[in-house]
Structure 1
Amino acid sequence: MSEIQDTKSRKELDRELVYQLDGRPGLSTAVPLGLQHVLAMFTSNLAPILIIAGVCSLSGADTVVMVQCAMFVSGLTTFIQLYPLRLGKNYQVGAKLPIVMGTSFTFVPTASAIGAAGGIGAVLGGCMAGSLVEVFMGFFYKYIRRFFPPLVVGCTLVTIGVNLLGIGVDYFAGGAGAADYGSLQNLGVGFFVLAIVILLQRFGKGLVKNSAILIGLVAGYVLAAILGMVDTSPITDAKWFGLPLPFQFHLQFQLPAILSFAALFVTSGLETIGNTSGITIAGFDREATEKETSGAILADALGSTTAAIFNALPNTAFGQNAGIVSMTKVVNRWCIATGAFILMISGFFPKLGALFSAIPNAVLGGAIITVFGMILINGIKMISKAGFSERNILVMGLTFAFGMGVPGHPEAVAQLPSALQFIFNDPVTATCIIAILANVLFPLKDESDIEKAKEAMLG
């Protein structure tokens, strides 16, 4: 009788602990909750790697290495967010909050352009050097945050979304430059995956809804295999076990690439700030403290630097996982840590990485095109929070005219000094820089605009 009571009391304790930051619920409770976070971000974590590997024409073996390292680094950086590294009395690397880290889509358009021109070494070198911007943001963000209001972030996210949609369409049709680009087979498989994702998002519940992209990916993978679209040689050749080793590619540090990525790390840091506040508001009914936010950005920077060392793309706090916290109210660090452990362990099995690297382009396109669309919508939502005052419309007009218009016509700025030309080499970088400058040149004056800006900054 006492054993039954002890078991009951343990279950009751576990149910209480999952809604608390600290404490260790039993593994039977913690693992499913941690696995839910892994499933929600697994595809989005690896998709940027597969896209850039394709742009850089990497071999199947090299792609497996990048996928393997991406899983390992994401798990490691999530651990640091959960259990921070102390830096004296005032600073820490990590937020000590249930933040899940993963490979950022923000860098895909710029990395695609740089990778196509200079290869994967230029991408990784630019990411490593550019991540120093986030180190600066982490230590001094309370002094510089006013330069990056939601209007600036929103304009940048809109540009990222627009650029990603083009990439998504190419994948949907079979991959840019593919011999069967736009074939009925590719389009049919892409729409099949897309239909599954939409149906599960619309009618699914709980874990099924959160895993809609992963389920659609698996279903499309099976269909593609039946149709003979899957190259199984990378899976066959991959080892069962292997260590994720650093510096598998020769890093190149090119100034234009570094400057382009540096601008994007500003956006990545602001995304992390937003997700950190979103988690504390949803889970603890309060704003994130200065120490938590600073720590979250520094962990973002450390994770991105570590990712470059370990052959992967920059990390950032994942919005979909912040959404899970908002929906379930489960904030226990131990639960999230079990998911981080699963991610890290997955990085030691190249077969798993090879399984994902063999996904046909059409399948990947059908699964991720909605994700790209959501990035665009999130940007529009942030802009709408800031409002459409005369001043904001002027800032947006200048931003999109020079940020999105000019990069599409590089000959228009060919006579400018090279130090200025780099700004317009990439639309995302240009949008971010022009938005910051326009926001400074036209400061808020109207009281109603100032109040709206304050409300938007608070989420």
Structure 2
Amino acid sequence: MSDTAIGTAEQLRDPNYTPPLVKAVPLGIQHVLAMFVSNVTPAIIVCGAAGFGFGSNSPDFPQMIYMIQMSMFFAGIATLFQTIGLGPVGARLPIVQGTSFAFIPIMIPLVAGKGVEAIAVLMGGIVAGGLFHAFLGLFIGRLRFALPPLVTGLVVTMIGLALVKVGVQYAAGGVPAIGTPEYGSLINWSMALVVIFVTLGLKFFARGMLSVSAVLIGLLAGYAFAFLLGEVSLSNVGRAASFALPNPLHFGMEFTVAAVIGFCLMSFVSAVETVGDVSGITKGGAGREATDREIEGATYADGVGTAISGFFGALPNTSFSQNVGLIAMTGVMSRGVVTVGALFLILCGLIPKIGAVISSIPIEVLGGGVIVMFGMVVAAGISMLSDVNWNRRNMVIFAIALSLGLGLQLEPGALQHLPDTLRVLATSGILPAALIAIVLNLVLPEELTGEATEEVSGGMAGHGSGSLPKED
């Protein structure tokens, strides 16, 4: 779209400018399409980990529909906090909020196989973590020194690595199917591969809206393929209500030490991610640095939105990075446009039939989309690590944090003698890796730039200057 079709160049860089409605509505819906799949997927993953039945006759199915519905509704509410604001809450910028993948490795151990009753523990942790997240808004700017690219890149990479197993399990038939003859069948993988191939094709060979919505269209293609194979059941759509309001304390609320500590620690990581997103939006959309007021307001909105979500049975919210890239691509900085998208999300959240349609997606189809999305999380972390000064000190910090974090996640039995709370936190992988990296980065002295290089295992050179070897 050209500037003249929407507004002048100066108007497009102004967050307070709203294009004509005929342009603002499709631009707002485009923001929703860019984040829609990522926003509802965590609810399905958490329900699956808790042992909710995916069959149409499962008594847990309405609970899954409700959580999907609330994921949309409160993503819209949290987005309005950011775009419109409420007192000190909100950056008054075009920031799209949605359910965060970062918390999934914390949530899965808390609910694994424990059924719908375990969701109350999640909600207690989400509310506590949200309040702590809002509290971080008072001084988040002064904590950035402790989180250089070495730490943030490692954390994002660990989040992706912690989740890729889930994607493969879903593509093969889902966790409940492990060990059955159907698990890993050609039919299961064919549904997942359709999603992957269509997504890749659109991402690399299409432009504009088709490229931005590649994962969503890939899922639709996989859904159509699964429907032709007779793998789709729409029986729940007819049974779902046409309209429903959020229900306070829908899953109940229970506070446990493991959940509260885990969500508070991950809220710190999420707050730092939000700082980066706010900076990316102001730089990419307006060509300036974010103000302290904007960063603080965005952090408050993250926390308040998350706490309210937990009270009504939804999952944690945070700023969505993919929408930062969309603003840079379209050149439209308008918070009015994102407000339109937020209202569309809220409308979807009030219609349970939409949640029922989403829940009818075969787990194998979802697995294809999840493999792509979680792989992109890993890639984003590696991209952040490219800014690291790779001297011997930083290589050792990264190696120890990654080895222990990933190792404990892969082999949780190694900590079977720890108390339950510590075991859940330590085997998440992300928290020990982040803690080790933060502490070592603060206490270990910086290397002298003149030190000689050191050969490490595999013929990889540790460069004293801190630069990676350049290709010829």
Could you state the TM-score of these two structures normalised by the residue count of structure 2?
A: 0.88
Alpha-carbon distance between aligned partners in 2 of 1:326 and 1:382, rounded to the nearest angstrom:
18
- Post-superposition, which runs of at least 4 consecutive aligned residues in structure 1 deviate over 6 A? none
Alpha-carbon distance between aligned partners in 1 of 2:396 and 2:384, rounded to the nearest angstrom:
16
1:368 alignment partner in structure 2: 370
Q: After superposition, where does 1:244-393 map in structure 2 within 5 Å?
A: 244-393=246-395
Report SS of the residue matched to 1:182: coil
* Structure 1 unaligned regions, length at least 5: 1-9, 87-91, 454-459
Please point out which of 433, 436, 440 is paired with 2:442. Answer: 440
Alpha-carbon distance between aligned partners in 1 of 2:312 and 2:44, rounded to the nearest angstrom:
15
Alpha-carbon distance between aligned partners in 2 of 1:325 and 1:121, rounded to the nearest angstrom:
37
Is residue 263–residue 432 contact of structure 1 (8 Å, CA) maintained in 2?
Answer: no
* Structure 2 unaligned regions, length at least 5: 53-59, 452-464, 467-472
Alpha-carbon distance between aligned partners in 2 of 1:401 and 1:42, rounded to the nearest angstrom:
33
Please point out which of 10, 29, 39 is paired with 1:35. Answer: 29
Question: Is 1:170–2:169 an aligned residue pair?
Answer: yes
Q: Mean Cα displacement is larger for which, 205-214 or 262-271?
A: 262-271
Is residue 81–residue 296 contact of structure 1 (8 Å, CA) maintained in 2?
Answer: yes
Alpha-carbon distance between aligned partners in 2 of 1:415 and 1:32, rounded to the nearest angstrom:
55
Question: Is 1:237–2:239 an aligned residue pair?
Answer: yes
Q: Which amino acid in the other structure matches residue 167 of structure 1?
A: V
1:110 alignment partner in structure 2: 106
1:4 alignment partner in structure 2: none
Shift of 1:370: 1.1
1:66 alignment partner in structure 2: 67
2:47 alignment partner in structure 1: 53
Shift of 1:433: 1.6
Structure ranking higher in helix proportion: 1
Report SS of the residue matched to 2:246: coil
1:89 alignment partner in structure 2: none
Per-residue CA deviations over 1:305-344 (Å, capped at 9, x if unaligned) read 1111121111111111000011111011111111111111
Report SS of the residue matched to 1:155: helix
Alpha-carbon distance between aligned partners in 1 of 2:450 and 2:218, rounded to the nearest angstrom:
45
Shift of 1:114: 1.1
Q: After superposition, where does 1:145-184 map in structure 2 within 5 Å?
A: 145-178=144-177, 179=180, 180-184=182-186
Alpha-carbon distance between aligned partners in 2 of 1:128 and 1:151, rounded to the nearest angstrom:
29
2:56 alignment partner in structure 1: none
Closer, same or farther: CA 228–291 of 1 in aligned 2, 3 Å: same
Is residue 106–residue 268 contact of structure 1 (8 Å, CA) maintained in 2?
Answer: yes
Per-residue CA deviations over 1:58-81 (Å, capped at 9, x if unaligned) read 321111111111111011111110
Q: Which amino acid in the other structure matches residue 96 of structure 2?
A: V
Is residue 133–residue 267 contact of structure 2 (8 Å, CA) maintained in 1?
Answer: yes
Q: Mean Cα displacement is larger for which, 422-431 or 57-66?
A: 422-431
Is residue 137–residue 144 contact of structure 1 (8 Å, CA) maintained in 2?
Answer: no
Is residue 159–residue 428 contact of structure 1 (8 Å, CA) maintained in 2?
Answer: yes
1:3 alignment partner in structure 2: none
Alpha-carbon distance between aligned partners in 2 of 1:61 and 1:122, rounded to the nearest angstrom:
19
Question: Is 1:191–2:193 an aligned residue pair?
Answer: yes
1:101 alignment partner in structure 2: 97
Closer, same or farther: CA 176–26 of 1 in aligned 2, 3 Å: same
Alpha-carbon distance between aligned partners in 2 of 1:412 and 1:361, rounded to the nearest angstrom:
31
Per-residue CA deviations over 1:265-299 (Å, capped at 9, x if unaligned) read 12111111111111111011111111111111111
Closer, same or farther: CA 102–418 of 1 in aligned 2, 3 Å: closer
Is residue 51–residue 113 contact of structure 2 (8 Å, CA) maintained in 1?
Answer: no
Alpha-carbon distance between aligned partners in 2 of 1:172 and 1:205, rounded to the nearest angstrom:
27
* Percent pairwise identity: 39
2:133 alignment partner in structure 1: 134
Shift of 1:445: 5.8
Number of matched pairs: 437
Could you state the TM-score of these two structures normalised by the residue count of structure 1?
A: 0.90
Shift of 1:117: 5.3
Is residue 89–residue 298 contact of structure 2 (8 Å, CA) maintained in 1?
Answer: yes
Report SS of the residue matched to 2:66: helix
Alpha-carbon distance between aligned partners in 1 of 2:80 and 2:157, rounded to the nearest angstrom:
31
Alpha-carbon distance between aligned partners in 2 of 1:259 and 1:327, rounded to the nearest angstrom:
38
Is residue 83–residue 96 contact of structure 1 (8 Å, CA) maintained in 2?
Answer: yes
